[in-house]
C-alpha cells in the first residue's frame, strides 16, 4: 500500500484518473505526460513526477501504459473493500450529490441520506434510502461509516458535524458556508461556494491578474 503525503497530488491523481478512464474507454493503451498535463493545468514534468511517486515507469518515446496507471491510482485512491458515506440534508444540493454519486463508483458511495423533514423519512431517493434525522447517530455508528457529507444550512452544520464525528466518521465533506471544528483525526474538506463565486468574480474583473496561470499549458 502506497501513501501519498501531499494533498495536491491526491487532487491531481483524481484528475488524471478521469482522463485515463476516458482514454481507456476510447480503446487507447498508452498515454504521454503532456496528454495528462493539459487537462490538469500542470506541466508535463509535474505529471512525470507524480507518476514517479506512484511507482510507475514509462517507456521513453512510447509513454505510459494506461492500464498500469489506472491500477496504480486505484491502489492509492480507492479503499481496498468499499467505502461508504452518509449525506445529511436532502435539499437541492443533497439531491444533486445523490444524482452525481449514484452508482458511479463501486468502491465509494453514498450509503444513506438523512433529513429533518419527516416526509422524506423512510423513502428511497435515487436508489439511496433516506432516514429521519433522529436516526443519524445510531445508524452511522452501527454501519461503521467513515464519511459524512454535510448539505445542511449553515446554522446546523456544526451540530451535525458533532453528531457524525461522535458516531465515528473520520472525514467530512462540508458544503455549508461555515468553518467547522472537528476532533483531531477527522479530516474536513470544505467546498465553499461563496468563496468560489467571489473568486471568479474577482478574476473576471481583473483578467490580467492570472496570466501566469494560463501560460502553464
**Residues near a second copy, by CB under 8 A:** 3-5, 7, 10-11, 14-15, 18, 39-41, 76-77, 79, 83, 85, 91-93, 95-97, 99-101, 108, 146-147, 149, 169-173, 177, 179, 184-187, 189, 191-207, 209-210, 213-214
Residue 102, SS3 per DSSP: coil
The length of the chain in residues reads 217
Task: Please state the closest distance from residue 41 (CB atom) to DNA, in A.
Answer: 8
Select from 40-48, 142-150, 154-162, 200-208 the region that touches DNA (CB under 7 A).
Answer: 40-48
94 scored as a contact of DNA (CB under 7 A)? no
Extended strands (E) in the chain: 30-31, 64-65, 83-88, 108-115, 123-125, 128-132, 147-150, 171-174, 187-190
Q: Specify the residue, 18 or 122, whose C-beta has the smaller distance to a second copy.
A: 18
Task: Please state the closest distance from residue 70 (CB atom) to DNA, in A.
Answer: 15
Partner interacting with residue 46 (select from a second copy, DNA, none; CB below 5-8 Å by kind) = DNA
C-alpha cell of residue 175: 458544503
Tell me the C-alpha distance between 217 and 106, whole Å. 33
Tell me the C-alpha distance between 113 and 134, whole Å. 12
Tell me the C-alpha distance between 102 and 69, whole Å. 25
Partner interacting with residue 130 (select from a second copy, DNA, none; CB below 5-8 Å by kind) = none
28 scored as a contact of DNA (CB under 7 A)? no
Tell me the C-alpha distance between 153 and 116, whole Å. 12
Task: Please state the closest distance from residue 61 (CB atom) to a second copy, in A.
Answer: 26
> Euclidean distance between the first and final Cα of the chain, in Å?
32
Beta bridge partners of 64: 31
- Selected binder of DNA within 13, 17, 19, 46 (CB under 7 A): 46
32 scored as a contact of DNA (CB under 7 A)? yes
Chain residues that interact with DNA, rule: CB under 7 A: 5-9, 32-34, 42-46, 48-49, 51-52, 56-64, 216
Amino acid at each position: 500500500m502506497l501513501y501519498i503525503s501531499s494533498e495536491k497530488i491526491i487532487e491531481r491523481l483524481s484528475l488524471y484518473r478521469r482522463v485515463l478512464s476516458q482514454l481507456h474507454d476510447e480503446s487507447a493503451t498508452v498515454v504521454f505526460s503532456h496528454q495528462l498535463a493539459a487537462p490538469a493545468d500542470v506541466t508535463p514534468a509535474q505529471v512525470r513526477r507524480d507518476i514517479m511517486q506512484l511507482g510507475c515507469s514509462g517507456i521513453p518515446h512510447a509513454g505510459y501504459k494506461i492500464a498500469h496507471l489506472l491500477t496504480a491510482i486505484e491502489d492509492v485512491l480507492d479503499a481496498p473493500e468499499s467505502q461508504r458515506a452518509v449525506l445529511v440534508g436532502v435539499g437541492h444540493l443533497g439531491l444533486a450529490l445523490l444524482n452525481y454519486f449514484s452508482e458511479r463508483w463501486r468502491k465509494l458511495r453514498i450509503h444513506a441520506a438523512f433529513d429533518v423533514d419527516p416526509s422524506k423519512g423512510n423513502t428511497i431517493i435515487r436508489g439511496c434510502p433516506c432516514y429521519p434525522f433522529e436516526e443519524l447517530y445510531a445508524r452511522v455508528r452501527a454501519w461503521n461509516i467513515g464519511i459524512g457529507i454535510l448539505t445542511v444550512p449553515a446554522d446546523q452544520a456544526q451540530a451535525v458535524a458533532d453528531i457524525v464525528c461522535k458516531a465515528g466518521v473520520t472525514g467530512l465533506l462540508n458544503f455549508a458556508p461555515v468553518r467547522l471544528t472537528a476532533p483531531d483525526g477527522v479530516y474536513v474538506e470544505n467546498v465553499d461556494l461563496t468563496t468560489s463565486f467571489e473568486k471568479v468574480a474577482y478574476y473576471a474583473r481583473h483578467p490580467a491578474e492570472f496570466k501566469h496561470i494560463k501560460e502553464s499549458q
